[in-house]
């Protein structure tokens, strides 16, 4: 690293420069960087999902997996014209995702009996 000296009139030395920016002799340039500690520590070990949240995720897992399969079918066709097999794969994945959503809805809907 090099340090440039700026000379004023009559050869008097002014403040030292590091490149085009003035700097002090003991200045740490890394101290000006703002930390993102709060964003990083928001996901600390003590902030894990509860058992109820994990159960809800497990309950919705068939829908999540069906949506992933549908996305995969669409991703394959992003850079090319879909073939007949691609269209079948998308239709099959769409039906599977819809069936998973209907199944989840039916499981989470309250049971209603006659006269209820």
Domain map (residue ranges) of the chain: 51-108
Give residue for tokens 């200045």.
27
CA neighbor of 77 nearest in space, from 65, 88, 63: 88
Phi, psi of 4, rounded to the nearest 5 degrees: -95, 145
Residue 90 CA to residue 84 CA, distance in Å, equals 10
Residue 98 CA to residue 72 CA, distance in Å, equals 16
Residues 29, 35 contacting (CB under 8 angstroms):
no
pLDDT in tens, 3-18: 445 555 555 555 555 5
Residue 8 CA to residue 14 CA, distance in Å, equals 6
Give residue for tokens 């819809």.
98
pLDDT in tens, 47-95: 788 889 899 999 999 999 999 999 999 999 999 999 999 999 999 999 9
């Amino acid at each position: 690293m090099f340090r440039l000296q700026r000379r004023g009139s009559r050869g008097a030395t002014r403040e030292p420069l590091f490149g085009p920016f003035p700097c002090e002799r003991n200045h740490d340039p890394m101290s000006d960087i703002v930390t993102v500690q709060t964003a990083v520590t928001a996901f600390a070990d003590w902030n894990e999902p509860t058992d109820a949240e994990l159960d809800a995720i497990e309950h919705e897992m068939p829908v999540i997996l069906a949506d992933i399969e549908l996305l995969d079918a669409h991703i394959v066709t992003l850079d090319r014209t879909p073939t007949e097999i691609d269209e079948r794969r998308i239709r099959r994945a769409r039906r599977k995702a819809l069936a998973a959503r209907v199944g989840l809805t039916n499981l989470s809907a309250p049971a209603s009996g006659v006269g209820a």
